[in-house]
Amino acid sequence: MKSLWEDGTELPRFGRLEGDLSPDVLVIGGGMAGLLTAYELTRRGADVAVIEAGRVCGGVTRGTTAKITSQHGLIYSRLEEQSGTDAARLYYEANEEALARYRSLAHGADCGFEERDAYVYSLMRRGELEREAETVRRIGGEAEVTDGGELPFPTAGAVRFPHQAQFHPLRFLRTLLPELRIYEDTEAVGISGGAVLTPRGRIRAGGTVIATHFPFPRLRGGYFLKLCQKRSYVSAFEGAPAVRGMYVSAEEGGISLRSAGNLLLVGGGSSRPGKADGGESALPAEFAARYFPSAREVYRWAAQDCMSLDGVPYIGRFSARTPDIFVATGFNKWGMTGSMAAALLLSDLVQGRPNRYEKLFSPSRTVLRPQLVANSVEAAADILTPAVPRCPHLGCALRLNAAERSWDCPCHGSRFGLDGSLLEGPATHGLKSVPTPPVT
């Protein structure tokens, strides 16, 4: 599946790393989070190297809906309830600063940057919308409840955040790449003795940032328990009415909408890889057929996102025992704004500077959340399931995803082609052998 952003956008190629390297900072992962972190550190005078196992922007970044917004569902009332008003205010300010940084970098760039209002709508929960808007105003933000605006179906209303943005992510990154030192086809296969190991050498850096979507060290830091992955699906239609705003549902798995040029992007569906409800969602196409019957689908793709236990990304020191290793993960489907927030925070931490958002995003914060129990029970059950093939990450039994023609891991979201090739991490290599899938 090729996304809208990939079609017609050529990115430069970079050679693979041969031998050893000793930069000030090593960034592992060539997606939005890794590249923005490398860019910010380079601009501050650091000697930075980026390694990417495949091609830059070949993973989650190419599957985004490319909204840059501090509105992440109904997060502020929930965050205030679980962590307090100060935490909600800091989260808002971190994401608004990220939006401002995007606005500055996109100025004059050919990346389709457009200011748009963002809306989170609900079909029935008007009271929750009102509470969210009140919380945002109380922490210094701007929000109001509207009647749902341009949506072609009835709602209980929507919370509007003004002055948010959307863009073309690959064209944006293309303007930054010339300033970066990047090695493609260079996999990090382990960390030993303070060095990151690659197939053809060692990299010793003063600081290492792991921005690989799902952190690749298997057990260190407990991310296999603190994260789960979800897949969602996007289609782009021509011949459908344009919308001025960016819309997302407050209900799990609902429809999201935004325009991109003359196309309408419709997102929908939410499933765990390897679960019974997994597989390619027809929801965007069904939605368009119902409300825009003359529209024609011209692109279809999927995105896979890491979800944290409490709805806040993990950005900071990888673990208490690894002071020179940092991580950015768990963006909860809001990876564009989250990636910039991570780049700004990590650039300070790597260089030993204080940052007021460090505690909020710390990966070492409490894991005592209800989702931890669900993650643990599901992982244990799938590890004990007597079936083949098994995921090389932690040994969970893989399940056949007939719709997308893949073997999916229900524990941590790794995905493999029917030939055993690696499609999605956290596994770092493909399957040595796979059974012939049943004929359907």
Cross-strand partners of 50: 27, 182
Closest Cα partner for 402 from 432, 438, 350? 438
pLDDT above 80 for 339: yes
For residues 111 and 106, what is the distance between their CA atoms, to the nearest angstrom? 7
For residues 110 and 66, what is the distance between their CA atoms, to the nearest angstrom? 15
Are 370 and 326 contacting, i.e. CB atoms less than 8 angstroms apart?
Answer: no
pLDDT above 60 for 121: yes
Q: Which of 274-278, 317-321, 340-344 has the lowest mean pLDDT?
A: 274-278
User: CB neighbours of 400 closer than 8 A, spacing ≥ 6?
Assistant: 406, 407, 408, 437, 438
Q: In this structure, which topology does domain 370-424 adopt according to CATH?
A: Rieske Iron-sulfur Protein (2.102.10)
Share of the chain above pLDDT 70, in %: 90
Looking at residue 105, its amino acid is: L
For residues 32 and 29, what is the distance between their CA atoms, to the nearest angstrom? 9
Q: How do strand 406-408 and strand 399-401 relate by DSSP bridges?
A: antiparallel
pLDDT above 60 for 311: yes
Q: In this structure, which topology does domain 114-163+226-305 adopt according to CATH?
A: D-Amino Acid Oxidase; Chain A, domain 2 (3.30.9)
pLDDT given for residue 273 in this prediction = 63
Which structure tokens are listed for 209? 């940032």
CATH of 25-64+170-225+311-361, one of 3.70.10.10, 3.50.50.60, 3.30.450.20, 2.30.42.10: 3.50.50.60
pLDDT given for residue 109 in this prediction = 93
Q: Give the neighbor-by-neighbor strand order of the sheet with 190-192.
A: 190-192, 195-198, 201-203
pLDDT digits (tens, 9 = 90+) for 28-51: 999 999 999 999 999 999 999 999
Which structure tokens are listed for 400? 């056949």
Domain ranges in the chain are: 25-64+170-225+311-361, 114-163+226-305, 370-424
User: CB neighbours of 235 closer than 8 A, spacing ≥ 6?
Assistant: 265, 266, 284, 285, 288, 297, 299, 300
Are 171 and 9 contacting, i.e. CB atoms less than 8 angstroms apart?
Answer: yes
- Which of the four pLDDT bands, split at 50, 70 and 90, describes residue 275? low
pLDDT above 90 for 434: no
Which structure tokens are listed for 267? 């997102």
pLDDT digits (tens, 9 = 90+) for 91-107: 999 999 999 999 999 99
Which structure tokens are listed for 210? 């792991």
Answer with the residue of higher pLDDT: 386 or 302. Answer: 302
3-state secondary structure of 66: coil
pLDDT above 60 for 143: yes
Which structure tokens are listed for 49? 């190297």
pLDDT given for residue 403 in this prediction = 72
* Mean pLDDT (whole number) for 190-217: 91
Which structure tokens are listed for 10? 């050529």
pTM for the full model? Answer: 0.90
Looking at residue 130, its amino acid is: E
- Which of the four pLDDT bands, split at 50, 70 and 90, describes residue 229? confident
pLDDT given for residue 237 in this prediction = 97
| Cα dihedral across residues 357, 362, 365, 371: positive or negative | positive
Answer with the residue of higher pLDDT: 304 or 182. Answer: 182
Strands of 135-292, DSSP E: 144-146, 157-166, 182-183, 190-192, 195-198, 201-203, 207-210, 228-238, 246-249, 256-260, 263-271
pLDDT above 90 for 52: yes
pLDDT above 80 for 17: yes
Which of 189-198, 281-290, 319-328, 336-345 is predicted most confidently?
336-345
pLDDT above 60 for 72: yes
**Is 370-424 the same fold as 114-163+226-305?**
no
Looking at residue 187, its amino acid is: E
Are 189 and 199 contacting, i.e. CB atoms less than 8 angstroms apart?
Answer: yes
Which structure tokens are listed for 292? 């825009």
